[in-house]
Structure 1
C-alpha cells in the first residue's frame, strides 16, 4: 500500500475552501493544517496505479501550483521479520 506525504501549494490568492472540499471527497486523503498557501496531506492508496491516478487528480484541482513529495513508502505488504538480535527488522538500531 503506497503511503505518501505530500505538500500541495496554491497560488497566494487562492481560496482553500474549494480545494479542501475536493480533498474531503477522498477517503484515502488526510489533510493537515494549511499555512501560507501550503497544505500538507497524507495519502494511502491500494496500489501504485491508484496512487498515480490520485497524483494526476491532485494536479488537476483548481488553484494547485505544485505537489511536492515529502516521503513515499511503497512496500505493498508489511511483514516484519526477526533479525539475529531478536528485534523486528524494521526497528532502527545503532551501528557499531
Structure 2
C-alpha cells in the first residue's frame, strides 16, 4: 500500500482513483485493483478550470477575463528573455 501511495504522490494523483484489495491464500499474497470510474470522472472534471484573483474591483468581469486571457503575451516575453539563442551575453573583447 505504501508503494502505491508513493507512486501517487510522485505522479501528483489522488490516492483514491483505484480501489485496492489485498488477499492472502496460504503462502500466496494477492493484489486486486479496480478503477473507480466515479472518482476518476470527478478528478477529470476539475481539469481546465482557473480561479482568477484580482484587486481590480472597478473592472467589469469581461475586462478581468480578457486580462487573464492576455497573460500569454507576458509569459511568452518572459520565455524569450530566458532563450539563450535569442538573448545571450558574451564577453566583449577590445
Interval containing the TM-score (normalised by the shorter chain): under 0.3
Structure index of larger Rg: 2
Normalised by the length of structure 2, the TM-score is 0.24
Normalised by the length of structure 1, the TM-score is 0.24
More helix by share: 2
Higher relative contact order (CA 8 A, sep 6+): 1
More strand by share: 1
